Chain A
Amino acid sequence: MTPPTSPAPHVIAPNSVRRVMPIVIVALVPAIVMHVVFFGIGLAVQLVLGITISLVAEAIALKLRHKPLLPFLTDGSAIITGVLLAMCLPPLAPWWLVVSGSAFAVLLAKHLYGGLGANPFNPAMVGYAVLLVSFPAQLTQWLPPQLADLHIVRPGVGDSLYTIFAGHLPAHLAWDAITSPTPLDSLRTSLAMGQTMQEAQANPMFGALGGRGWDWINLSLLGGGVWLLALRIIRWHIPVAMLAALAMPAAVMNAVDPGAYAGALFHLTAGASMLGAFFIATDPVSAATSNRGKLIYGAGIGAITYVIRTWGGYPDGVAFAVLIMNAAVPLIDRYTVPRIYGHAR
């Protein structure tokens, strides 16, 4: 009898990188549905484009790097990148935006650094930041939420597809008539013009939370995130730290001057707060390592997001906050190595 040999251990848990991806996608589905309900079919198109281009870019990169295609194409990481980027873009953004963003994310932000597991920056956020800096106008063309009491011209499915793929609106529509700033953007502009919070939030796009439509999307993302926590796909440290560090300064500033600063609930349910907390900042590859490090990393993202939203040049700050803290990860990791068994406390 000459049985084969291998190093111990000889039994490992039935677990794989591949297992995680479908679960994360499912966790995003409620938010995607809400997005389509409130902002139309655009996101679905952006998702298809984002996923397709991410996979194509991944395949090209793997081919160029002489890596096996199958294990890496099916690991789900490229799909997640495409999905996250698409979810950040305005629903009627022209096709070349999501295409170039996804390609940039996968080819440059991921594979130039060594591919899966080796990218210091979150690829989807790199892609988004590049688009935001390069094409700011297209990235502000958001739609108002589709609500019964908001009487706004709304492009249909055909018009949406035409707009995305032609890169401009059909002749009978005009951008001025159909677009609307996001609540974060609107609030920013109004406050900059000297309005108070109360005046700014008189606009019907604001509800009890972070803007109508956006509140439901964020609550859906919160639900999906809690589900991921329950399944132990993600850990609590980063989302809790990020949301706390976003909510706390918001609450303090709002208490100091309610006329000039939005409250904690608005910030938590506006923009990319929940997407960032549960789906972007939790990307383990580009996040800090130890639990203490994750708390610092998450808190940094929350705080920087608040600063950018409140005093910075962009309506939302999650993407830049994530990228800045990505850059800080090596430093955080260096100073947050946990105490090892048998070492002095």
Chain B
Amino acid sequence: MTTAINHGGLRLAGNKQRSTLKPSRLIAAPAQAVLPLDQHAGAPASPRVKVGDRVLRGQLIGQAEGEISASLHSSIAGRVRAIETRPVPYHRGSPSLCIVIDNDGSDSEVTGSLVDYRSLDPRALCEHIEAGGIVGLGGATFPTAPKLRRGQQAPDIQLILNGAECEPWISCDDMLMREQAQDILQGAVILCHALQAKRCTVVIEDDKPDAERAMRGALTKLNDERVAILSVPTIYPAGGENQVITAVTGMEVPSTGLPSDIGVLCLNVGTAAAIARWLDRGEPLIRRMVTVTGSGVNEAGNLDVWLGTSISDLIGESGGYAGSLARLLMGGSMMGLALPTDDLPVVKASNCLVAALPADLHPRGVEMPCIRCGNCSEACPALLLPQQLHWFAGSQDLGALEAHGLMDCIECGCCDYVCPSQIPLAQRFRDAKPALIERLTAREQAFLARERYESRDARIERIEAERQAKLAEKRKSMTARG
């Protein structure tokens, strides 16, 4: 067994039992689906339907635009009611352009073409995955195809499937591994082909023995020696991409680089399962597993949810509220977003909904000054000094923030959790990042401009030198002839 976290981290109450008692269930398609065109990292998709159009389940309704983007498909059959801005459960609550579809009750589906991955070369396979609207389902929703393309450029890449669902409350990956282990492993095999990877490691935290058993069982049946399962200790944030990669490889992802720079590509187990469903069953990414839990909901569990379903429908499916909520979280209690209302659609990023009563959470008290006790730096998995970052963020000292690694902060909230002065450190760091990013981008552009200028000078010099050389040769040959 490997240690997932070399430094810092927290042992937190998981609160995952209640939502994993019963098997997951597929809920009915909603009467109306609200599908934001920008529910992934990168550029928004552009609409491919008009108001009034009839669409089928699985039909492309938004086309990926640009290098990093993802396509969008209808999760229900019906008629496009509107293409308008609606509130969404991300972007800090600012509304996004959504395609709103009214269900006609027909449940008619696009007859998806089933694809044998072996018939496609890695490039074509990547394109096909892109067509399925597949994005990372761990919560960051980074489009999978561009990630794979980058991985394809790296020599001897290894694949890591992240099943270390470390955040409290969330159990959708746990249930997925228990119930759809075969799909996950099929996804692993497809991804190995796409990346020409010789190794794939599925990382599972040791508080999910059922999931590990199911995955090991499926792996025995699959009998593919490229794929292995690694159990890691349950320490938040063991499931962070960097932490998982370090647990498997012993290497660290370079601060200014990407995992592919050290020959690793990391995807969520849910993403692998979605890829398998797309290739083997022709179903694009139009539904996902969502954990609905918290003391504020009557029946906790995992629901297989059509994207665009209203969160209030999910609460209804779960027996309704069991009290006045202290928070409604999308995600877990450490990194989750507090939603202002339940009248929001389930999106590709919606891994979990926590209807929290006061007893479920422990909010901050009155903020006191930092006494530099150092609890935060002991808890930081990125080996930062949050107490110093906090000081520099207060004085907006961008140089010091850069030197002390603000951009290496993964916003896990461990420092917040242990701070005796109740300082909202993670939020301070989130707020401080844009200014530093702006500065770094400006510097990068200045650097590129200088490089361009210097390379232009060099080019002119080279051309001039070549011209002179040719001229000299010509003269020489002339004299020789003359």
Contact = CB atoms under 8 A, between A and B. Distances in A.
B174 to A, nearest CB: 20
A256 interface: no
B372 A289 contact: yes
Interface in A99-148: 115-118
A10 B336 contact: yes
A157 to B, nearest CB: 38
Given A3-B325, A338-B383, A341-B242, A13 B339 contact: no
B408 A342 contact: yes
B419 A1 contact: no
Interface stretch (A16-24, A38-46, A188-196): A16-24
- Which of A72, A117, A337, A340 is packed against the most chain B CB atoms within 10 Å? A340
Given A10-B327, A11-B417, A17 B368 contact: yes
Contacts of A115: 369
A2 B340 contact: yes
A9 B416 contact: yes
Contacts of A6: 327, 338, 363-364
A241 interface: no
A300 B384 CA distance: 24
B90 interface: no
A227 B253 CA distance: 39
A3 B326 contact: yes
B341 interface: yes
Contacts of A20: 373, 420
Interface string A192-216: 0000000000000000000000000
Contacts of B375: 15
B369 A7 contact: no
Interface string B346-375: 000000000010001111111011111111
Given A5-B327, A337-B403, A10 B333 contact: yes
B36 interface: no
Given A12-B416, A20-B420, A341-B382, A117 B369 contact: yes
Overall SS of chain A's interface? loop
A313 interface: no
Nearest to A75: B368
A76 B301 CA distance: 45
A144 B333 CA distance: 60
B382 to A, nearest CB: 4
B408 A17 contact: no
Contact of B405 (A71, A116, A290, A343): A343
B420 A16 contact: yes
Contact of A289 (B252, B333, B388): B388
A10 B383 contact: no
A339 interface: yes
Contacts of B334: 8-11
B364 A12 contact: yes
Contacts of B426: 7-9
Contact of A341 (B325, B368, B381): B381
Interface in A308-345: 333, 337-343
Interface string A63-81: 0000000011001010000
Contacts of B138: none
A5 B338 contact: yes
B371 A17 contact: yes
B254 interface: yes
Contacts of A340: 255, 382-384, 404-405, 408
Interface string B321-341: 100011111010111111111
Nearest to A68: B366
User: What range describes how many residues of A lie at the interface?
Assistant: 35 or more
A145 B403 CA distance: 54
A154 interface: no
Nearest to A338: B383
Interface in A267-321: 284-285, 287, 289-290
B396 interface: no
Given A17-B368, A115-B369, A340-B255, A290 B335 contact: no
Contacts of B340: 2-3, 5
Contacts of A11: 12, 168, 333-334, 360-363, 417
A4 B403 contact: no
A335 B371 CA distance: 21
Interface in B100-123: none
- Which of A4, A10, A342 is packed against the most chain B CB atoms within 10 Å? A10
Interface string B377-392: 1000111110110000
A14 interface: yes
A2 B340 CA distance: 6
B385 A9 contact: no
A341 B420 contact: no
Interface in B285-335: 312, 315, 321, 325-329, 331, 333-335
Interface of A: 1-17, 19-20, 71-72, 75, 77, 115-118, 235, 284-285, 287, 289-290, 333, 337-343
19 contacts: A3-B340, A6-B363, A7-B338, A7-B424, A8-B336, A8-B411, A12-B362, A12-B363, A12-B417, A15-B375, A16-B365, A19-B420, A71-B366, A77-B371, A115-B369, A285-B371, A289-B385, A333-B388, A342-B382
Given A9-B334, A16-B365, 9 more contacts: A1-B341, A3-B326, A9-B416, A11-B334, A12-B416, A15-B420, A17-B371, A285-B371, A337-B385
